[in-house]
């Protein structure tokens, strides 16, 4: 039975390699058909695996006797796998229409995009199902390497430079994490994920300073992918140049790979008690709050739509990092909730922005006046997702931010117990400032908006809007994700109970 967990990992990898190796087909429907079928089969296998292999374990092979490549899905991994699957499948189907030839010209590199997209899907599921730190690290590195083609897709100079920046930052972070991994191997009883930590308490005395430095390097290293200051600069560079579906999954899921890495290191390897009250926690809290405010301010000032959303991701993911750094049950629950809700919200926003760019070619916020009259369904979904990201009840963002605020207030950490909620509130106001004007100007463009006039048979002129609504393949994922972003705020209790069970097991 435990071999079932390998299928959702290696099937999409095999399907992606198949696409990369075959000759470019004349009919693009063959590409979309293979990709769509692979996404659905993988999604179905994930659902089956999640209900049948929780707690099961399998060793794929061993580097050494004590370093196995080992898979064991736990509740945290199952949650991450479920989020990855929902986002990846929906964004994948969006890409079928996004990549559709414009004016008879074939999208260059479409086969390469779908192949890499499927491979990264499998890698992320391997990351979720990893049962020890060495397996996690291998798939983490593969995630970086194989997601780079999604960034470099257009092969423009800007895309190449963005991809190189993405690689440089990611590898720097990965090497910092590797530095800490060596010390965990030396001072830990095992590298298998264990709630509460794995440090050998007989070896810790006298080595506290060294282990503190190792834990900080690992947190900082994984936070590179999560976009935490001062190693955040790759994110607003890579997102705007990537195709919209790639930007969506980068922001919604791949940055969360760094978040999952931090959760594993802090709560499953070192243990929250080892870090609580130390300089590591203090510096981590400071960097997270700086990033929350800085990202929101930069997003507020940015005029390019996708880059504005990228800076927003920098800010919002550090909400999660702040919650994790508090090492407090309510804050941890809020952080995990925000991992899920932010994935659905930000994927909606990026896909909606991509649909607008695909249909109108408009990339600047100032050019979007009246877009709600031309693409009403798309912009309504953008509006609901914006309200959720701000944290307006009864959307999902309100629930996660409520837990984060309550966790900060109840943490008892001097200064941060009040400064955290203040910064989160300021960031929410800035979020409203950089997202809501898009919707307001989109539906109420004002007197400067030029309507189209059409003469009728009786000599009169009718004023109307030219509809440019996104296609079916684009609209369905956008609508589904927008519904999820709102629905989890209306009916959050089943998810809260599940996450509360995880939190109680690791704190």
- pLDDT by residue for the chain (507 residues), tens digit each? 577 888 999 999 999 999 988 888 877 788 889 999 999 999 999 988 888 776 788 888 888 888 888 898 888 999 999 999 999 999 999 999 888 776 544 456 788 889 999 999 999 999 999 989 999 999 999 999 998 888 887 778 888 888 888 888 988 898 899 999 999 988 888 888 888 888 888 888 888 889 999 999 999 999 999 889 888 888 888 878 888 888 899 889 999 999 999 999 999 999 999 999 999 999 999 999 999 999 999 999 999 999 999 999 999 999 999 999 999 999 999 999 999 999 999 999 999 999 998 888 888 888 888 888 888 899 999 999 999 999 999 999 999 999 999 999 998 898 998 999 999 999 999 999 999 999 998 888 776 666 655 544 454 444 445 567 788 889 999 999 999 999 999 999 999 999 999 999 887
CA distance 6 to 80: 16
Alpha-carbon distances of 504 from 260, 393, 408, 493, rounded to whole Å: 17, 26, 18, 16
Query: What are the structure tokens assigned to 297, written together?
Result: 């301010």
Reduced to 3 states (helix: H, G, I; strand: E, B; else coil), residue 236 is: helix
Q: What DSSP line would sit under 339-364, residue for residue? A: HHHHHHHHHHHHHHHHHHHHHH---B
Return the structure tokens found at 161: 């430079």
Beta bridge partners of residue 118, listed in sequence order = none
Contact 220, 231 (CB under 8 A): yes
Helix (H) or strand (E) holding 64: strand 58-64
How would you class 305 by CB atoms within 10 Å of its CB: exposed for 0-12, middle for 13-18, buried for 19 or more? Answer: buried
d(CA 381, CA 355): 12
Residue pointed to by tokens 């282990």: 211
Residue tagged 């530095």 (tokens): 179
Q: Which residues contact 145 (CB under 8 A, 6 or more apart)?
A: 167
Phi–psi pair at 404, nearest 5 degrees: -65, -45
Helix then strand count (H, E) for the chain reads 20, 4
Cα 264 from Cα 247, distance rounded (Å): 25
Close Cβ partners of 301 (under 8 Å, ≥ 6 residues apart)? none
Cβ proximity of 50 and 82 under 8 Å? yes
Tokens at 461, concatenated: 């002129």
Alpha-carbon Rg for the chain in angstroms: 23
User: Among 283, 418, 391, 383, which residue's Cα sits nearest to residue 337?
Assistant: 391
CB proximity list for 432: less than 8 A, separation 6 or greater: 390
DSSP annotation of 130 reads B
Strands (E), 424-504: 452-455, 461-464
User: What pLDDT, on the 0 to 100 scale, is given for residue 155?
Assistant: 78
3-state secondary structure 284-339: HHHHHHHHHHHHHHHHHHCCEHHHHHHHHHHHHHHHHHHHHHCCCHHHHHHHHHHH
Rounded CA separation 401/390 (Å):
9
Contact 271, 211 (CB under 8 A): no
**Using an 8 Å Cβ cutoff, are 111 and 35 in contact?**
no
pTM of the model: 0.92
- How many CB atoms sit inside 10 A of residue 506's CB? 21
Provide the token pair at 260: 């999952």
Dihedral sign, Cα of residue 72, residue 114, residue 109, residue 225? negative
What is the C-alpha separation between 501 and 438, in angstroms, rounded?
39
Among 349, 331, 356, smallest CA distance to 388 is for 349
């Amino acid at each position: 039975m435990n071999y079932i967990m390998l299928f959702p990992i290696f099937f999409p990898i095999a399907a992606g390699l198949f696409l990369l190796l075959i000759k470019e087909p004349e009919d693009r429907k063959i590409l979309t058909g293979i990709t769509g079928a692979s996404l659905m089969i993988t999604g179905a296998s994930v659902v089956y695996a999640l209900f049948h292999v929780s707690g099961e374990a399998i060793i794929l092979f061993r580097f050494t006797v004590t370093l196995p490549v080992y898979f064991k899905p736990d509740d945290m991994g199952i949650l991450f796998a479920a989020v990855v699957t929902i986002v990846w499948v929906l964004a994948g189907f969006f890409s079928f229409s996004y990549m559709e030839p414009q004016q008879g010209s074939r999208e260059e590199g479409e086969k390469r995009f779908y192949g890499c997209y499927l491979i990264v899907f499998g890698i992320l599921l391997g990351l979720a199902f990893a049962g020890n730190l060495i397996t996690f690290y291998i798939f983490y590195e593969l995630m970086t390497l194989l997601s780079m083609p999604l960034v470099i897709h257009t092969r423009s100079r800007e895309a190449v430079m963005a991809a190189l920046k993405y690689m440089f930052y990611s590898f720097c972070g990965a090497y910092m994490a590797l530095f800490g991994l060596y010390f965990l191997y030396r001072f830990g009883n095992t590298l298998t994920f264990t709630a509460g930590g794995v440090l050998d308490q007989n070896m810790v005395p006298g080595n506290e300073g060294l282990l503190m430095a190792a834990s900080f390097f690992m947190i900082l290293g994984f936070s590179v992918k999560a976009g935490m200051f001062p190693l955040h600069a790759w994110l607003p560079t890579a997102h705007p140049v990537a195709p919209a579906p790639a930007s969506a999954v980068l922001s919604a899921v791949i940055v969360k790979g760094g978040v999952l890495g931090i959760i594993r290191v802090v709560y499953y390897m070192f243990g929250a008690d080892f870090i609580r009250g130390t300089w590591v926690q203090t510096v981590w809290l400071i960097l997270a709050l700086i990033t929350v405010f800085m990202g929101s301010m930069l997003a507020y000032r940015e005029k390019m739509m996708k880059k504005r959303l990228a800076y927003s991701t920098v800010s919002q993911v550090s909400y999660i990092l702040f919650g994790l750094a508090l090492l407090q049950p309510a804050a941890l629950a809020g952080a995990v909730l925000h991992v899920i809700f932010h994935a659905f919200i930000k994927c909606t926003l990026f896909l909606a922005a991509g649909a607008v760019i695909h249909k109108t070619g408009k990339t600047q916020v100032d050019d979007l006046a009246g877009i709600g009259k031309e693409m009403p369904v798309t912009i309504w979904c953008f509006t609901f997702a914006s309200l959720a990201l701000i944290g307006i009840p009864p959307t999902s963002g309100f629930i996660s931010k409520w837990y984060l605020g309550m966790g900060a207030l109840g943490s008892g950490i001097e200064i941060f117990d009040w400064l955290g909620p203040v910064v989160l509130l300021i960031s929410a106001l800035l979020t409203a400032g950089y997202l809501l004007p898009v919707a307001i100007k989109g539906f109420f463009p004002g007197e400067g908006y030029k309507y189209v006039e059409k003469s009728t048979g009786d000599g009169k002129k009718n004023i109307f809007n030219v509809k440019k609504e996104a296609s079916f393949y684009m609209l369905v994922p956008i609508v589904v994700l927008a519904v999820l972003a709102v629905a989890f705020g209306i009916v959050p209790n089943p998810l809260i109970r599940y996450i509360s069970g995880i939190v109680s097991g690791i704190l």
